[in-house]
Homo-oligomer: A and B are copies of this chain.
Amino acid sequence: MSAATSASRADSRPGGRSARVRSAVHQAVRDLLADGTTDQLTIPLIAARADVHATTVYRRWGSVGDLLADVATSRFSGGFVVPDTGSLRGDLERYAADLAKDLGDPDTLALVRATIGVGGEQGAAVCRKERQDQLEAILERERSRGNEVPEVDRTIDALLAPLYYRAVFTDRVPTPEWARTLVAHLLPEAADAGPGGTTT
């Protein structure tokens, strides 16, 4: 697991041939995972699917674990806009709904499961770190407005945890509507920026 060193060298040239190969390999991994290929997810197979020589994949990523971590990182970073509806409730509802829609995609789900499987704690962190940071940013922004907000851990337990659990562990698809009910349970029903919700 030395993804940092090799991966950082990989995306140093965004427009060159490296980027083309990189996106082709990433797409191949996503395609194979979408087809249910999990235990036979090997480097020669990925390279063949991407019309790239296996040597290249060995040199740039080294192992399937590093490659999966790289794919997951680029998949879970960017393209996700932190909402700014003006109210904390609105922000959280929008964010939870977006995350539910994102995690509801079977292909994304397969990527998450595979990354966890071979990447262990490292891989799992890649799949949730960005989302957790964004959620903390929403809370911090609301608190900077002078309003009381739930604790970070409490928010994670009430929002992120059910979303990821339902997506990864069960066969039920997390819907945006259900995600909004999670926010309703977290925040008191009365005021929008009201107090309460703080633990203990």
Contact = CB atoms under 8 A, between A and B. Distances in A.
Interface stretch (A45-53, A82-90, A140-148, A161-169): A161-169
Counting every copy of the chain, the complex holds 2
A122 to B, nearest CB: 9
B125 A169 contact: yes
A12 interface: no
Given A117-B117, A127-B169, 14 more contacts: A38-B117, A39-B64, A113-B124, A114-B117, A117-B118, A124-B168, A124-B170, A125-B169, A128-B170, A154-B185, A156-B165, A157-B162, A165-B165, A181-B200
Nearest to A160: B165
A138 interface: no
Interface residues of A, number: 38
A164 B169 contact: yes
Nearest to A41: B39
A120 interface: yes
Contacts of A124: 113, 168-170
Contacts of A184: 200
